[in-house]
Amino acid sequence: MRVLVDERNPKLIKMLEGAFFQQLYLLLSTSSEAPTLRQIKASVDEPKVEKTLDYFIKEKIISRVNKRYFLTIPTIKDDDEDLLASIAQELIENLGNYSKEQQILYIEALYQRIGQHPPIEIAEEYPMLILNSIETDLLKVLSFEKERWAFNLPNYFQAQRMPTIKTEFEAMTALIGDVNPSYYLDQVFVLVEKMTEGQKVRESIFLKSLEICGILQRKENISLTVPVIGLKEEVNLNELPSAYKQLNPIQQKSLLLMVVESLNLVNQTVFVIKKEGNAS
């Protein structure tokens, strides 16, 4: 089982990735009797135990009753696959009239409209779309994934905020470290513009980082391997299946994974050009 947190709550995501919560979760889930504050302090390594426990109570991760602590995260089971598959098929048919670029922007727009959800506990293998992004005024980078720490640019920058470096990103960390995300994307924007216009690009750590992420390839020329979309593309979200609107946020993310898999967009990184720049 794993605890799923809405990605719009980065502080809680970071806290749950830390060693203290892992120790606390094990203690609360395996103790024959709910522990007291004194027992927790004796079992875990955390200098600000009471403050952190109060934060977890506020976020509805745990509760405190009669000076004892309990896990209070609701559990979601995968028992609605047939319903979701039926709605997903209707949505896929609707998307058949869209270009690939419009399909990508449509799914992103749908994902961004999904309401926030409280922390929940789900099975490790529960299928669900994870759409991460990083952006500036010039460029947005999207990733469509079903694994929490899949190797891509948005995840790399999110991983930099975690308590420990993810092994998946060690090569990127060695190359660009904790570079400012806005500065990095500004440099990448120039490279993307030049490559889409057929101009030559100079070797740099920014170019190398794109190669590590599988975003470009070197054959006769250096070229991008991912879609590049302009914001001139438009999508209409009014043609949603009525049943989709009745789903909860977790069901919607699971359904969108079905759609993304059908459209062969899983493990796909996408560049969205938000504003024309100057590649000179």
The DSSP secondary structure of the chain, one letter per residue, reads -EEE--TT-HHHHHHHHSHHHHHHHHHHHH-SSPPBHHHHHHHS--TTHHHHHHHHHHTTSEEEETTEEEE---EE----HHHHHHHHHHHHHHHTTS-HHHHHHHHHHHHHHSPP---EEE-TT----EEEEEE-SSEEEEEEESSTT-SSHHHHHHHTTSSS--GGGHHHHHHHTT--HHHHHHHHHHHHHHHHTT------HHHHHHHHTTSEEESSSEEE-S-EEETT----GGG--GGGGGS-HHHHHHHHHHHHHHTT-TTEEEEEE-S-----
The pair phi, psi for residue 96, each rounded to 5°, is -60, -20
Write out the DSSP string of 2-43.
EEE--TT-HHHHHHHHSHHHHHHHHHHHH-SSPPBHHHHHHH
Domains of the chain with CATH codes: 2-73 (1.10.10), 81-273 (no CATH)
Digit-by-digit pLDDT tens for the chain (280 residues) are 788 888 888 899 999 989 999 999 999 999 999 999 999 999 998 889 999 999 999 999 999 999 999 999 988 776 678 899 999 999 999 898 888 999 999 999 999 999 888 888 888 888 899 999 999 999 999 999 998 889 999 999 998 888 777 888 999 999 999 999 999 999 999 999 999 998 989 999 999 999 999 999 888 788 999 999 986 666 777 778 889 988 989 999 999 999 999 999 999 999 999 877 655 5
14/146 Cα distance (integer angstroms): 19
> How many other β-carbons are positioned within 10 Å of the β-carbon of residue 145?
23
- pTM of the predicted model, to two decimals? 0.83
> What pLDDT, on a 0 to 100 scale, did the predictor assign at position 230?
85
Residues 237 and 110: beta-carbon distance below 8 Å = yes
Could you tell me if 267 and 224 are in contact, meaning their C-beta atoms sit under 8 angstroms apart?
Answer: no
